[in-house]
Amino acid sequence: MSLKYTEIDEIPKIHARLRATFESGKTQPLEYRRRQLLQLAHLIQDNAEAMQDAIYKDYGKQRLEVVIGELSPAVSAAIHAANKLEEWTKPEKPTVEEWRSSWDTTIYKQPKGVSIIISPWNYPYIISLGPLIGAIAAGCPVVLKPSEHTPAVSALYAELFPKYLDTDAYAVVNGAVSETALLLDLKWDHIFFTGSTHVGRIVAAAAAKQLTPVTLELGGKSPVFIDAENTDIELAAKRALWGRQVNAGQLCVSPDYILVPKAHQDAFVAAVKKAYAQFYPEGALHSSATLTGVHPTARDRLKGLIASTQGELVVGGREGPDGRIEPAVVKNVRVDDALMKSEIFGPIMPIVPVEDVNEAIRIIKSYSKPLVIHVFTESEATKDKFLRETQSGTVVLNDSFMQLGVYEMPFGGIGDSGYGSYLGKFSFDTFTHQRSYINVPLAAEPFLGYRYPPYTEEGYKFFAAGTFQPIPEN
């Protein structure tokens, strides 16, 4: 479908309107924030069918995948934030030294200000609404810039926002490169971007010109290690294949490649084939198969990867007439293979045989720090080894899917996979400035008096006491 872009001359007006709203203080009362959060939950619940239909129209995403990874987590997160607002926004009283105990040392939670969320096409609901929930909870007005590559979803956002949310504080801007470039030229108080590393660098550079804080949620090659002697291989294969076929592998935390000890590669492949037959009893391209489609912009690239690999294609890889591509499982993949050059972002699962866990870790460390490392093991030693010797945004043990509904944990990258985090309280923190406060009592003047010129030896000894305090031996 054709998406109506926001008029270029309207974009600065929208920005100015949200700036005026923030300056008025309208978004700061907790009652207002709670109301907007619950309205957002209603927006999703009331329009769940339309939201599922829109994303299916855009690239054939299956309904169960929409609710499990997007709509259910978003509704839960909005309600959770509404219920936690008072706790999250409560000023904190940090523990201080005895001599400063009367200074009313406090950390206040202050909204950063007018923010923008630039979201991708692959998970256009949870990756838009997750950070939006944090911004609303923090008291920040927001412009949402959804992807032009999901026109039905983006048009639905433009239709629904004014019906449920305060138009003075929350707006949708639709468009492509020109509109996004104009948005990035404006002064924001926080930018939240999810997408490719290439575009992330552009966003970070634009933010730097304005000295604007930015959260980057990017991607990379998220590996899986199968600790074959310390796990249920059949269950590991089933979970790994499921994680790879969810959203046709078009997910930044999707298992990008599998590392398995050479002696167990054939057993793992057999287990993957067994799971494959269970998932698609009539074949992955059959009309009964619940397989999400590949986005039109990615099909030629993915078909080229399947054609160019030097590994052995053991199952899948064919293209259907409806935009779907069978999940392709490829064994005996070398580290210099075409499938290992960059993030695949599609339904291809390379299996890389390794000597042992040490070689697996060396391969993982040869790439940029991933968003997620998946490890299938029941061994504490293996778990500890990955925690100690690798770096990643997250480690997921014994599964292949980052549970976006886990509110108590931050989700975010490290290095080339991004920086900053969100989910639950961490979404609120992302859009919140922690404003420190002290009230230095007049009664402290006898001590502070030593700091004034002319400096004296007595004053030096008083303040140097901290420099020469005893240091513990161990």
Active-site option among 179, 252, 326, 343: 252
Q: Could you give the CA distance from residue 353 to residue 314 in angstroms, rounded to a whole number?
A: 15
What are the start-end ranges of the E strands in 17-125? 106-111, 115-118
Burial class of residue 248 (count of CB atoms within 10 Å of its CB; 0-12, 13-18, 19+): buried
* Beta bridge pairs of residue 122: none
Q: What is the DSSP letter of 411?
A: B
* CA-derived radius of gyration, the chain: 26
Q: How far is CA 174 from the centre of its chain?
A: 21
Is 217 part of the annotated catalytic residue set? yes
Q: Which residues of 412-451 are buried (b: 16+ CB within 10 A; e: fewer)?
A: bbbbbbbbbbbbbbbbbbbbbbeeeeeeeeeeeeeeeeee
| Contact (Cβ atoms closer than 8 angstroms) between residue 311 and residue 290 | no
- At residue 36's C-alpha, the angle toward residues 33 and 42, to 5°, is 145
Position 428: which residue type? F
Q: Would you call 192 helix, strand, or coil by DSSP?
A: strand
* Helix spans in 90-215 (H): 126-138, 151-164, 177-185, 197-210
Helix (H) or strand (E) holding 170: strand 170-172
Active-site option among 179, 217, 326, 343: 217
Q: Would you call 68 helix, strand, or coil by DSSP?
A: helix
Q: Would you call 446 helix, strand, or coil by DSSP?
A: helix
Is 140 part of the annotated catalytic residue set? no
Q: What is the DSSP letter of 325?
A: B
**CB-side neighbour CA atoms (13 Å) of 456:** 8
Residues designated as active site: 217, 252
